[in-house]
Amino acid sequence: MKFEHKKLSNGLVLIGEINNSAKSSAVGFFVKTGSRDEIKQINGVSHFLEHMLFKGTEKLNAFEVNQSFDKTGAQFNAFTSEENTVFYAAVLPEYIVEVTGLWAELLRPALRDEDFNIEKNVIKEEIAMYKDLPSFDVVDRCRTLHFDGHPCSNSVLGSDESIDNLTAEQMRQYFSNRYCPNNMVLACAGNLDWAQICTITEHHCRLWEEQPVKRELAHSDGSKRKLRIEKENLVREHICLMNTGVSAQDPTRFAASLLGTITGDEVGSRYYWELVDKALAEAATMQFSAMDGTGAFYSYFRCSSENLDKVLDCADKIFQDLQEHGITEDELTKAKNKVLSALVIKNELPMGRLIDLGFNWIYLEQYRTIQDDINAIKAVSIDEVNTLIQKLNLRDFTQLTIGPVKK
């Protein structure tokens, strides 16, 4: 595979990993903006704006946008997180240039008032939908509690209040400030002609104006607060614990990923054997999230109310044992095999490769091959993981529980 890189005069970065033996291609615009870049008054605008791009441009309406993707057979979508908004498509190689041009057009949307007013109701319905999913709601609320006072405390969806009060003009101003070429990366992967990708991108994007843009970067150790919320119609306890993690720029992020797998993988982890296998909880997982300048571990448990204290006590004992005795070589080997398998399988497809390719550049401004990441995971030692455990102090965490009303 061959890596290509180009930077336009306005700051837009183009990167590509060409694999001519692939049977598909993938392309995506990575915009370095998300809920952490919002102020409270416009919380949710990044996610709302993601929706609005599909409403079209001055030349294309929503139907024509959908039709343009549909005729190519593209698998296309977008997502918004705390830190990034990504617009992507996987497509047959013969349509990769056309789809790249289409995304470039859509990155300069009309943002019409009438579309904004209609889509506002769609966003509120989505907020309501996720409130009905306690497994999502508990993590979202726990993040706000954990990152209290830090920009990462902002909800990606926003609230009914912030969406109700948001104006189209506020959105247009946010778009102007954040969707500037020097705050974006265009990434492509798979079977493609790099020269053609550059030509179509320059045609559509060369006149985009560079803007001063920044992000507040600060590490957060978390609030360590504990809170329980009661909700009608629930019969199970939904628990989220958040521990301090390391950033996407920290070289120990690979050790942190392995620690998360050892502790809370869905099968064969410490959580699994002590909580799920023993029927104390029906779900018990931990995930590591490396972010810009900070990071966190998310643990999620689902159990009956009578088992709530037992589950929390068991989790604390797992953390204590990790703190006092560390992990074993056998645990590390199994975790490496799981992480490596997932990495390789995902990256075999251009669409899977696209995400890692884009985020490596967003966070590191660096091209990393699949083999680079494989080598980094294989190189993690038991001492590195155990040193990280001592640094993190897993027993010191933020906790949020959503459960049934106590009678």
Q: What is the pLDDT of residues 89-133, one digit of tens each?
A: 999 999 999 999 999 999 999 999 999 999 999 999 999 999 999
Provide the pLDDT for residue 406.
86
State the pLDDT confidence band at 314, using cuts at 50, 70 and 90: very high
Provide the pLDDT for residue 407.
76
The answer to whether residues 240 and 191 belong to one domain is no
The answer to the question of residue 169 being in a domain is yes
CA dihedral sign, ordered 51, 55, 60, 62: positive
The answer to the question of residue 186 being in a domain is yes
The answer to the question of residue 168 being in a domain is yes
Residue among 322, 332, 346, 342 at smallest CA distance from 378: 332
Q: Is 231 helix (H, G, I), strand (E, B) or coil?
A: coil
Give the mean pLDDT of 141-162: 96
The answer to whether residues 81 and 52 belong to one domain is yes
Tokens of 227: 């809170």
The answer to whether residues 149 and 36 belong to one domain is yes
Share of the chain above pLDDT 70, in %: 100
Domain boundary (152, 176, 205) is at 205
CA dihedral sign, ordered 86, 90, 95, 96: positive
Give the mean pLDDT of 203-214: 96
Tokens of 200: 């179509």
Could you tell me if 108 and 54 are in contact, meaning their C-beta atoms sit under 8 angstroms apart? Answer: no
Could you tell me if 155 and 172 are in contact, meaning their C-beta atoms sit under 8 angstroms apart? Answer: no
Provide the pLDDT for residue 216.
86
Domain that holds residue 97: 2-205
Helix residue ranges per DSSP H, 167-267: 168-178, 194-205, 253-264
The answer to the question of residue 217 being in a domain is no
The answer to whether residues 264 and 127 belong to one domain is no
Give the mean pLDDT of 136-149: 96
Domain boundary (172, 205, 238) is at 205
Q: Residue 140: is its pLDDT beyond 80?
A: yes
The answer to the question of residue 122 being in a domain is yes
In the block, tokens 């803007």 appear at: 211
Instruction: Report the alpha-carbon distance of residue 150 to residue 133 in Å, rounded.
Output: 25
Number of domains in the chain: 2
The answer to whether residues 288 and 145 belong to one domain is no
The answer to whether residues 184 and 256 belong to one domain is no
For residue 178, give the CATH number of its domain: 3.30.830.10
Could you tell me if 112 and 132 are in contact, meaning their C-beta atoms sit under 8 angstroms apart? Answer: no
The answer to the question of residue 354 being in a domain is yes
Residue among 242, 406, 224, 244 at smallest CA distance from 315: 242
Task: Output b/e per residue, 103-129; b: 16+ Cβ within 10 A.
Answer: bbbbbbbbbbeebbeebbeebbebbee
pTM (2 d.p.): 0.96
Give the mean pLDDT of 258-280: 98
The answer to whether residues 304 and 192 belong to one domain is no
Instruction: Report the alpha-carbon distance of residue 159 to residue 216 in Å, rounded.
Output: 22
Q: What are φ and ψ of residue 69, in 5° steps?
A: -70, -45
What are the tens digits of pLDDT across the range 320-357? Answer: 999 999 999 999 999 999 999 999 999 999 999 999 99
State the pLDDT confidence band at 64, using cuts at 50, 70 and 90: very high
The answer to the question of residue 221 being in a domain is no
The answer to whether residues 157 and 279 belong to one domain is no
The answer to whether residues 230 and 201 belong to one domain is no
The answer to whether residues 263 and 336 belong to one domain is yes
The answer to whether residues 117 and 194 belong to one domain is yes
The answer to whether residues 65 and 143 belong to one domain is yes
Domain boundary (173, 205, 237) is at 205
Give the mean pLDDT of 296-317: 98
